[in-house]
Amino acid sequence: MKIYIDGKFCSERDAKVSVFDHGLLYGDGVFEGIRAYNGRVFKLREHIDRLFYSAKAILLNIPLSHAALMKAVVDTCRKNKLRDCYIRLVVTRGPGTLGLNPNRCKKPCVIIIADKIQVYPQEYYTKGMEIVTVPTTRNLHSALNPAIKSLNYLNNILAKIEANNAGCEEAVMLNSEGFVAECTADNLFIVKAQQLFTPPLSAGALYGITRGTVMELAQSAGYKVSEPNLTRYDLFNADECFLTGTGAEMCPVVKIDGRVIGSGKPGPITQELVKNYHALTNVSGEPI
């Protein structure tokens, strides 16, 4: 495996960053998870856009242009001879002092890793998965805005631990007002009366690239899509439920907090959108 670090490719064994990097010491940095399908990097421009938005929000100057980053991502896939893979693009604040002050970091560090990924067991995609609501709430907008895809994922990790302790792979996270925000690494959708609903960004949901793609696919298929505040009651009484994310893609949910969702099997609208999503990913994207 060849890993891109600051303009150079090195082996996995030789891929190293400084122990003084503030990305390691304080989670000071941003990242993107990107997928390549059938020799094309899917929604690459949108992912790079979001990376720059996250960086701007934390006053992190990415040392490469938009076009240069896109090229670096494609080159990393080519270097590893991968046509179908998961790409992790990371920009840290860079090496600095042991203090918090980001001004002590002279140059940000850019890292790109391309490899295979399997977020959930394959059976979840065919039979559906069970999830639970956890006590850990989503970060407040006034504390660490969930729209920033930062390296500080401890909020999500704590929720993931609680899900694992309950025997589940994934968790529903509520915001401080009790409304559904998202899952630990995925956006959440429900289907009710032939309509799709997903939490608004204001509730603490990430501006998911896959989320937006699925919304477009649903609208093109003739389904109404809206973004109201949702409660656990709404989830329990949904006809269908599914999760979306770059790594997870689209995964149906058949039980939440012990309540069976709909028929207890992946629903017809979910299955239709999964089919449409895969069809799109196979023909769309930046060529490798």
Phi/psi for 270 (5° steps) reads: -60, -50
Report the distance separating Cα 10 and Cα 112, nearest Å.
11
C-alpha distances (whole Å) from 183 to each of 62, 157, 165 are 28, 11, 16
Residue 42: CB atoms within 10 Å: 22
Architecture of domain 2-115: 2-Layer Sandwich (3.30)
What pLDDT score was predicted for residue 112? 98
Residue the block writes with tokens 């891929």: 15
The ranges assigned to domains in the chain are 2-115, 122-281
> Which class is domain 122-281?
alpha beta
Q: What tens digit of pLDDT does each residue of 1-18 get?
A: 999 999 999 999 999 999
Q: What tens digit of pLDDT does each residue of 190-210 get?
A: 999 999 999 999 999 999 999
Active site residue 2: no
What pLDDT score was predicted for residue 276? 97
Residues 6+ apart with CB under 8 A from 143: none
Are 199 and 134 in contact, with CB atoms under 8 Å apart?
no
What pLDDT score was predicted for residue 25? 97
What pLDDT score was predicted for residue 118? 87
Q: What tens digit of pLDDT does each residue of 26-56 get?
A: 999 999 999 999 999 999 999 999 999 999 9
Instruction: Give DSSP secondary structure letters for 193-237.
Output: TTEEE---GGGT----HHHHHHHHHHHHTT-EEE-----HHHHHT
What pLDDT score was predicted for residue 190? 98
C-alpha distances (whole Å) from 172 to each of 38, 84, 185, 258 are 32, 29, 10, 13
Buried b (16+ CB within 10 A) or exposed e, 122-145: eebbeebbbbbbbebbbbeeeebe
Residues of the chain with pLDDT under 70: none
Residues 6+ apart with CB under 8 A from 36: 42, 77, 82, 83, 84, 85, 86, 87, 114, 285, 288
Of the residues 8, 16, 106, 149, only one is catalytic, namely 149
